[in-house]
């Protein structure tokens, strides 16, 4: 079983841990949507780097599972219920974080939602939910946690966007609109706080091997009659390297953005997409 600085990460490839350093020791990281997928991978990576991690999401079972996983490996993590579409829920989650840990040093906006349909068949409910989770949720979390960062003259904000923040994809108009908004929010906020010791950046993954992609595969199977293998291959073919990105690859970049080495990088969007998207 691979170990790193006393951490045991069952199933994690040893090569991923080689050279990994505890660059985030004692910093408080609040990660939305961290009960699964990319968010979970970021939570595990931040814990391995020494951060005190807040596992924030709506699913009580998932956030407790990830927090326990980190705790058993020797890290520090607490599960905090949070609905990013509610300003009251976000405020309560931040208050609980401050009481149990300290003020937030690192915010990772990872919570996401996507559905696909031709634009003429997109309901207002789907449109509003997509904007609320992906864009408004990011705004609410940044607005709630930024004042403390400004007062302490330090902070890192990392927004998990998508290549859909840079280019359009058919049948995902709401998602593309929301993620384009996240990128605009990233760039504008970065300029507002550039002189205050705070960086704001975005990571734009391509197709990642997560539950969200699995749902997309199921949707393709349901609507086209393709097999699951054929549907997955079609998504892999959309990435130039002809494979799905692994969540840990996104987490690696998030750790770097959160550390001191990236202090001079702000207002940027970095792709983790096998070459997909703009440069």
Q: Which of 4, 113, 171, 175 is catalytic?
A: 175
- Name which of 47, 193, 5, 188 is nearest 180 in CA terms: 188
- Name which of 114, 107, 129, 139 is nearest 39 in CA terms: 107
Buried b (16+ CB within 10 A) or exposed e, 97-133: beeebebbbbbbbbbbbbbbeeeeebeeebbebbbbb
DSSP string, 104-116: -SEEEE-------
Reply yes or no on whether 175 is catalytic: yes
How far apart, in whole angstroms, are the C-alpha atoms of residue 180 and residue 80?
A: 28
Query: 106-109 and 155-160 as β-strands: parallel, antiparallel, unpaired?
Result: parallel
- Reported as half-sphere exposure (CB side, CA atoms, 13 A), residue 31 has a value of 33
How far apart, in whole angstroms, are the C-alpha atoms of residue 224 and residue 121?
A: 17
Q: How buried is residue 207: exposed, middle or buried, by Cβ count under 10 Å (0-12/13-18/19+)?
A: buried
DSSP 134: I
What 3-state class would DSSP assign to 160?
strand
- Name which of 121, 110, 22, 2 is nearest 66 in CA terms: 110
Positions annotated as catalytic residues are 175
């Amino acid at each position: 079983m691979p170990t790193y600085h006393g951490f045991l990460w069952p199933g994690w490839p040893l090569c991923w841990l080689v050279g990994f350093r505890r660059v985030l020791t004692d910093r408080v990281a609040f990660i939305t949507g961290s009960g699964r997928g990319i968010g979970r991978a970021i939570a595990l990576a931040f814990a391995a780097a020494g951060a005190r991690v807040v596992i924030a999401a709506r699913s009580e079972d998932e956030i407790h599972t990830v927090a326990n996983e980190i705790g058993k490996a020797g890290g520090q993590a607490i599960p905090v219920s949070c609905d990013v579409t509610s300003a009251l829920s976000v405020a309560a989650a931040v208050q609980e974080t401050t009481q149990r840990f300290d003020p937030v040093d690192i915010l990772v906006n990872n919570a996401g939602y996507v559905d696909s349909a031709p634009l003429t068949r997109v309901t207002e409910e789907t449109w509003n939910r997509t904007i609320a989770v992906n864009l408004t949720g990011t705004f609410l979390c940044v607005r709630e946690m930024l004042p403390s960062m400004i007062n302490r003259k330090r902070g890192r904000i990392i927004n998990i966007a998508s290549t859909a923040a840079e280019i359009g994809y058919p049948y995902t108009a709401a998602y593309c609109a929301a993620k384009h908004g996240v990128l605009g929010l990233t760039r504008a906020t970065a300029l507002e706080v550039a002189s205050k010791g705070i960086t704001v950046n975005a990571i734009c993954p391509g197709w990642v091997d997560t539950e969200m992609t699995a749902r997309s595969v199921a949707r393709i199977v349901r609507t086209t009659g393709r097999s699951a293998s054929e549907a997955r291959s079609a998504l892999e073919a959309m990435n130039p390297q002809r494979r799905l990105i692994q969540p840990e690859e996104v987490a690696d970049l998030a750790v770097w953005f959160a550390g001191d080495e990236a202090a001079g990088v702000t207002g940027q969007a970095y792709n983790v997409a096998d070459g997909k998207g703009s440069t």
